[in-house]
A and B are shown apart, each in its own frame.
Chain A
Amino acid sequence: MTNILAQFVLFSSIFFIAYLLIYATFAFMSVAVGAYTLRNKERMQILKNELKHTTIPISIIIPAFNEATVIIKSVKSLLALDYQHYEIVVVDDESNDDTSQLLIDEFDMKFYNRPINCLLECKPHIAVYEQKIGNVNLTLIRKLNGGKADALNMGINSCRYPYFICMDADSFLQKNSLEKIVQPILEDDTTVSVGGMVLISQCVQIENGMAVNYRLPSSLLVSMQAIEYDRTFLGSRILFDTFNGNLIISGAFGLFKKSIVIAAGGYDSNSLGEDMELVLKTHVYCRNNNIKYRIRYASNSVCLTQAPSQIKDLIGQRRRWHIGMFQSMREHWQIFLNLRFGLVSFLSFMYYLLYELLSPIIEIFGVASIIIAAHLNILNVRFMIIFLALYVIYGVVLSLCIYSQHIYQQKFKLSTIDLVKALLICFLEFTFFRYLMLYSRFQAFVRYGKNKKVWGSIKRE
């Protein structure tokens, strides 16, 4: 028995060293590619290598449920965007609060018996209100409750333009975000969707619709999320973008080609991770039908969103995301080790499977191995501590790299206090936050099936 356990510990030690080294390589690659890409982009901007075009018509869809506290501010900010040709469609998924009434009153919206051609399945609408504000058509659709994906499908059914943006009601776009997010379409008309960069609004100071300063806030939890967002949006998303391998376009801000989304079947109302599900579905649809396509990421198109500032909200949010990821990957399992999907299968899908979806199980398996090794007296404590310490230093340095890249790419100022704070937060994020995430992800497995079709909500600030 002892022999078998010793063999198990040996196997697991090799597995974990390989697992961590692969992750370390991935993290390094994403930071390096991110740094290189951002530097190039900045130089391109200085050298006026830009495509300025604001007439590709875009529909902005905002699914809303109990968003009375933010909806007016959000719509007003969208009405002030620097873009010529767009409409705003708010879909109220039968809120219990005054979301709709506030919009109707604020913008003097008129009731219409507007028919909607439901190409995508969704719960029926109750009422439609419209108003034209300047050049922008604002539409409010009240519908029966069906969840976020269902509300998005209603938005797609009712929007008028060939490209649509989906965004959260508590998110705000920078003034130039639409102009920037259409650039990949102008570069290559096979582009079917574009993800934008999401920043945490609690860190950002806004002036005239543009972020002018970025500081880590006093809330440790929000600060740690800010570092995590930076690592995702300025690292891994850029790396995946180099080979058309992004599997997620954040639900907070993404642009899609309507005809492709409709042909692929739209959002899955039964999924909690409707954003990831749609991207996976797009990959599958285009590859299966031999459609040339690009799924791009525009790091210069910025959206600001509120991060949960309470642990309970954060755990709930991440649990939903993890369940959503599980549902999406299970639904599109055909991508797994499938040559037809190329790097999307062998890099992106594998990464999400091993380092995101299965990470709680693998990490618990790791802890179990350590306990068994200690029990058998074969644990090399010195090596373990050195390895862990170096790994933490490695992670902290990479996070700091990304953070500083972000600050300088966006031309924000970085004071010494900010730098010290960032160092501390990076350390906490790598030591404390990841275990919190591990807990929420583990909960996702335990409580799988309980949260279907529920709107996520966080305490607004």
Chain B
Amino acid sequence: MITDIRIHMAIVMYLIGCFSLMIYNAMVIYRKKSSSKAMSNNTNKWIKVMNQQFTKENKIRKSDPKYEKHMIKSLKHVEKLIAFSNALNYFKLEYGTDLYNQYIVTLVQSKVFHTLAVIYRRKKNEERAYFAYFISQHPQLAKDTEGICADIISAMVSYIEDSDIYCRSNVLKVLCSVGDVYGVVNTLQLFNDKNIFIHHKLLAEDLFNFTGDKEVLSLYLWGKYKIWNDNLILGVIIFITMFSDAFKDTFLPVLRNKSIDAEVRLAIIRYYKKYRYAPAQSVLIEYLNQTENYDFATEAAATLSQYPGQNTINALTTALQSDNWYVQYGAASSLAILDEHLDYHIDCIASKSNGAFQIVQYMLEHQNNKKDMNMSELII
């Protein structure tokens, strides 16, 4: 009997838990519905407030301290900030960039966002991330008459400590959209010092959206190559590879240095594929011939397709005999590009029993198909 009562109690407890979950769900759904209504109401209110900022001459009024106070009080709530952002986007679409820019100037003069940047420092991680995202969408807010506004930027950089990847990425977006070299360098320095992870591909893509002088930024970033961790440097090299041929000379000693991280050197080999640099040829051939790490040989084989000449053809022909299939593949693909007479002497360079023979044949088939395609395009 006692056991029965205990079991009944346990079941009742479980059911209470279960129904409370149901109620929680219903509440979340209800809150979501009401919050989406509130969001659209708030957006409309902001649009109304923005409209009130117009003078009769269709210009923006100078900022009013009361209005500024109201903005700060309101926008420190992230939901209100989202509504404000929606209203701002609507404003830009409806009234055009000129009026939008005028409005932004009044906001900058009011220093509302300077204050908010500091307030959001104390907010939750995801709310800080949103504030950073908001500024990255309206980067003029982080600028003043003298250029980049140091207060906002330093507040943003301070968000990075004890933050997650989303906040970090959004902060980096702000710095890149503003075009602040020092901000970007300081942020990456912080990533390095605090051992904060950011995927190198993501870093490169964010850096590529830098709106200032990318050449200057890349010089500053590369200046840290002996200090920063390999992941950051990898991201920097990928970023540089996206746009600059100015590092041909700089990268070569790094490529020669066998103590540098393998991924970093592989990224540099890829750089030399995009930007041909004659002095790199001998180093690439050296990498092609080494057998300790076939990743280097494979990458070098593919890169050598951009370095025509008998030396390259000889090295690639030798590489066809490599023990590694991927090296053979890379060599064959490069030979197919470089050696115009490859189809005539394929038998001499690769024995039919060797896998390289099939690879070369496959590459030639591709070349021929491309030629046919080009021909048919010409005829059309």
Contacts and interface: CB of A to CB of B under 8 A. Distances in A.
A390 B199 contact: no
B49 interface: no
B199 A186 contact: yes
Contacts of B167: 49
The B contact surface, by secondary structure, is helix
Most interface-central of A39, A115, A393, A394 (chain B CB within 10 A): A115
Contact of B19 (A43, A51, A112, A397): A397
Contact of A50 (B78, B166, B361): B166
B11 A114 contact: no
A47 interface: yes
A115 B28 CA distance: 56
Given A35-B28, A49-B126, A401 B22 contact: yes
Nearest to B129: A49
Interface residues of B, number: 47
Interface string B56-77: 0000000000000000000000
A43 B129 CA distance: 12
Nearest to B205: A53
B334 interface: no
A17 interface: yes
B197 A31 contact: no
Given A113-B362, A397-B18, A48 B130 contact: yes
A310 to B, nearest CB: 33
Contacts of A49: 126, 129-130, 164, 166-167, 170
B233 to A, nearest CB: 15
A186 B201 contact: yes
A393 B7 CA distance: 16
A257 B227 CA distance: 30
Nearest to A39: B28
Given A35-B28, A113-B362, A115-B362, A28 B18 contact: yes
Contacts of A17: 7
B21 A31 contact: yes
Contacts of A48: 129-130, 133, 170
B164 to A, nearest CB: 8
A390 B11 contact: yes
A387 interface: yes
B14 interface: yes
Nearest to A396: B18
Interface string A163-199: 0000000000000000000000111110000000000
Contacts of B355: 115, 117
B14 A28 contact: yes
B18 A112 contact: no
Interface string B319-347: 00000011001000000000000000000
B10 A56 contact: no
B201 A53 contact: yes
A186 B127 contact: no
A398 interface: yes
A44 B32 CA distance: 14
B221 interface: no
A347 B22 CA distance: 25
Interface string A405-439: 10010000000000000000000000000000000
Nearest to A46: B82
A85 to B, nearest CB: 10
Nearest to A407: B29
B21 A186 contact: no
Given A46-B82, A113-B365, A400-B22, A394 B15 contact: yes
B166 A43 contact: no
Interface in A101-134: 110, 112-115, 117
Interface string A33-45: 0010001000110
Contact of A408 (B29, B78, B127, B205): B29
Interface in B180-210: 197, 199, 201-202, 205
A51 B22 contact: no
A395 B28 CA distance: 21
A372 interface: no
B327 to A, nearest CB: 11
Interface of A is mostly: helix
B212 interface: no
Contacts of B352: none
B17 interface: yes
A404 interface: yes
B130 A32 contact: no
B140 interface: no
A110 B201 contact: no
A408 B35 CA distance: 14
A47 B14 contact: no
B14 A24 contact: yes
A391 B7 CA distance: 12
A17 B170 CA distance: 51
Interface string B239-251: 0000000000000
A70 to B, nearest CB: 29
A397 B22 contact: yes
A28 B20 CA distance: 11
Contacts of B26: 404
Contacts of B162: none
B19 A383 contact: no
Contacts of A56: 201
A335 to B, nearest CB: 29
B326 A117 contact: yes
B369 interface: yes
5 contacts: A55-B201, A117-B325, A380-B4, A394-B18, A408-B32
Given A53-B199, A114-B362, A404-B25, 19 more contacts: A28-B21, A35-B25, A35-B28, A47-B126, A48-B170, A49-B166, A51-B166, A51-B202, A53-B205, A113-B358, A113-B365, A115-B362, A185-B199, A186-B201, A189-B197, A387-B11, A390-B11, A398-B18, A404-B26
Interface of B: 4, 7-8, 10-11, 14-15, 17-19, 21-22, 24-26, 28-29, 32, 78, 82, 126-127, 129-130, 133, 164-167, 169-170, 197, 199, 201-202, 205, 325-326, 329, 355, 358-359, 361-362, 365-366, 369
Q: Which 3 pairs show the lowest CB-CB distances between chains A and B?
A: A49-B166, A47-B130, A115-B358
